[in-house]
């Protein structure tokens, strides 16, 4: 059974620092990994998706890496801003078919202090 | 572009009352649809998914049911709510047969008293 862990559960940094968020999974047989952002009381916003054959994906200040063999992914957010404050969730999918559900980590709650 | 709607946004219901939450998707056809629950102190739990009209798969036994009466409409229901049904309910969609990214709706906050 796949288990996804995100440590730390909470993180506080001053504005301008780079953020490093970790995600680990127990079963390396994944199809893809997706990073989401969730603001309080809101739905999930997809940030980046990495296919199992890829090593990293980038979008603006965001960069996500994937090391499938070691069961780890890292989300880097450069030059953090107060607007980056949110909970960040990672999720892995085992296969392409609809029945292959996303397994989520518990999330990392980020606070960027101005 | 595609959008996903959920309503109501918030709901407070007494124990034993019925429930109906609705999710609709615009801008895509024949999507895979999902219902998740996010309870306090717990992660996101997949409740149901659907690959087409009238096709529902349940992930966990529970007090809830789901239906898909139209291609882009997904409904979560209960005949009698329990206290443990409280939580944040999220609907999501993914393109059928090719899309990999899963997109989530704004959610419904359900409080059962």
Q: Which helix (H) or strand (E) holds A74?
A: strand A72-77
Confidence band, pLDDT 50/70/90 cuts, at residue A40: very high
Question: Residue B32 is nearest to which of A32, A98, A107, comparing CB atoms?
Answer: A98
Q: Which helix (H) or strand (E) holds A63?
A: strand A62-67
Residues of A in contact with B34 (CB under 8 A): 101
pLDDT at residue B95 greater than cutoff 90 = no
Q: Nearest CA to CA, how far is A108 from chain B (Å)?
A: 11
Provide the percentage of residues in chain B whose pLDDT is more than 90.
80
pLDDT digits (tens, 9 = 90+) for A65-114: 999 999 999 999 999 999 999 999 999 998 877 677 889 999 999 999 99
Q: Nearest CA to CA, how far is A63 from chain B (Å)?
A: 17
Distance in angstroms (rounded) separating the CA atoms of residues B90 and B71: 18
- Return the pLDDT at A99: 73
Confidence band, pLDDT 50/70/90 cuts, at residue B99: low
Nearest CA in chain A to B88: A41
């Amino acid at each position: 059974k796949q288990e996804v862990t995100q440590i730390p559960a909470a993180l506080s940094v001053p504005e301008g620092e780079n953020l490093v968020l970790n995600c680990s999974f127990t079963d390396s047989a994944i199809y893809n990994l997706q990073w989401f952002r969730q603001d309080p009381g809101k739905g999930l916003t997809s940030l980046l998706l990495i296919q199992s054959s890829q090593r990293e994906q980038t979008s603006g200040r965001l960069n996500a890496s994937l090391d499938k063999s070691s069961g780890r992914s890292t989300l880097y957010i450069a030059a953090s801003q107060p607007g980056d404050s949110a909970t960040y969730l990672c999720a892995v999918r085992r296969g392409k078919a609809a029945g292959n559900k996303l397994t989520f980590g518990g999330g990392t709650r980020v606070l960027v202090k101005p | 572009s595609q959008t996903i709607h959920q309503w109501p946004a918030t709901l407070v219901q007494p124990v034993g009352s019925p429930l109906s939450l609705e999710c609709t998707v615009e801008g895509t056809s024949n999507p895979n649809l999902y219902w998740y629950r996010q309870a306090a102190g717990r992660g996101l739990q997949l409740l149901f998914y659907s690959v087409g009209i009238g096709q529902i798969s349940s992930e966990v036994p529970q007090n809830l049911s789901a239906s898909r009466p139209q291609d882009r409409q997904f409904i979560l229901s209960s005949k009698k709510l329990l206290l443990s049904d409280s939580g944040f309910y999220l609907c999501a969609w993914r393109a059928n047969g090719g899309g990999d990214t899963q997109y989530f709706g704004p959610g419904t906050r359900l409080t059962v008293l």
